[in-house]
Structure 1
Amino acid sequence: MITVIEQAVQARLVATAPKVETVPVTLCYDRADPFAVRMAFPALATLEGVEVSWTFARELLMSGIRTPAGCGDVRVRPYDGDRTTIEFHAPEGVAIVLMMTADLQRFLDRAAAIVAPGLEHRYLDMDHSLAELMRRPN
């Protein structure tokens, strides 16, 4: 049974300059972390020149493609009928990307086939999570 999915998509990086860059982004969903999705940006799209990943709630992405969602580091909202805006807020600044809503929905559908929304709790490994928490130094 498939427990991890990855999907490559194109994102438009919105900058203050008039030119909008297109960058490849990888979306990832892992049944071992059923409430989260990961979005990885390649080194060429980051200020540091290294791959950067953001992990945030799957529910945020599910809600945000239909109506504005989020008030923290990651915010998702519809842009127009075909695209969704995702904002990433960090101390260094804000990155805004536009993605095709159909690509995001396809990814969410694939994730739902692995873990249905609302049933994430069934896939949590509490023993492993507690062991990881106890292993971390203060």
Structure 2
Amino acid sequence: MSAVVEQVVQARLILSTHRSALLRVTLRYRAGDPLAVRMAFPAEYSLDGIDLPQPDPEIEWVFARQLLAAGLDLPAGPGDVHIRPALGGRTMVELRAPEGVALLQFDTPELRRFLWHSYLAVPEGQELQHLDPDRALAELLG
């Protein structure tokens, strides 16, 4: 199955207690990679992109669709991606890398809408039926 769900949302990058920046984030889900969701950010928000002569147009984080769903209701994420609900219909996403930590705030209804569309492409609990292990291994080994 080649279904792709893509949704552009606005996020607030928290810079300090009193400063933040708005940025567009592209959320992606591919039925061919049914366990994962992707968050793509403009390259100018990457510390890596500063030193590159021609940075990639996007920086992409990949993590479990189940993590995103769980984090909308309760704090979730034991690894580099942490997601938790916040007041006022917001969801906080914390991305941890050796270069630093990014804290982003999203409107929860936008994330729920994205998940709903992803569940239309591949229903929750049916991910393994859509998984192509040979293709996944080929992508992993690049």
With normalisation by structure 2, the TM-score equals 0.87
Question: What is residue 28 of structure 1 aligned with on the other side?
Answer: 28
Write the distance in 2 (CA, Å) between the matches of 1:113 and 1:74.
24
Q: Which amino acid aligns with 1:20?
A: S
Aligned pairs for 1:40-79 (under 5 A) are 40-49=40-49, 50=55, 51-79=58-86
1:86 aligns with 2:74: no
In structure 1, list runs of 5 or more residues that go unmatched. Answer: none
How many residues matched?
A: 135
Letter in 2 for 1:108: L
Distance in 2 (alpha carbons) for counterparts of 1:127 and 1:47 = 33
Partner amino acid, structure 2, of 1:67 = L
Asked if the contact 2:33–2:136 (Cα under 8 Å) also holds between the matched residues in 1, the reply is no
Query: Aligned Cα RMSD in Å?
Result: 2.0
Determine the structure 2 residue equivalent to 1:108: 115
- The 4+ residue runs of structure 1 with deviation greater than 6 A are none
8 Å CA contact 1:27, 1:40 repeated in 2: yes
Percent of aligned pairs with the same amino acid: 47
Question: CA 1:79–1:4 in structure 2 vs 1: closer, same or farther (change >3 Å)?
Answer: same
C-alpha separation in 2, matches of 1:42 and 1:68? 26
Return the alpha-carbon distance in structure 1 between the equivalents of residues 135 and 79 of structure 2.
28
Q: Structure 2 regions of 5+ residues with no counterpart?
A: 50-54
Q: Aligned residue for 1:13?
A: 13
Q: Deviations over 1:46-69 (max 9, x none)?
A: 223342110000000000000000
Q: Distance in 2 between matches of 1:44 and 1:52?
A: 9
How many angstroms apart in 1 are the aligned matches of 2:99 and 2:141? 27
- Do 2:9 and 2:25's aligned partners in 1 also have CA atoms closer than 8 Å? yes
> Cα distance, 1:43 vs. partner?
1.9
C-alpha distance in 1 between matches for 2:135 and 2:44:
35
Q: Is the contact made by 2:2 and 2:30 (CA closer than 8 Å) also made in structure 1?
A: no
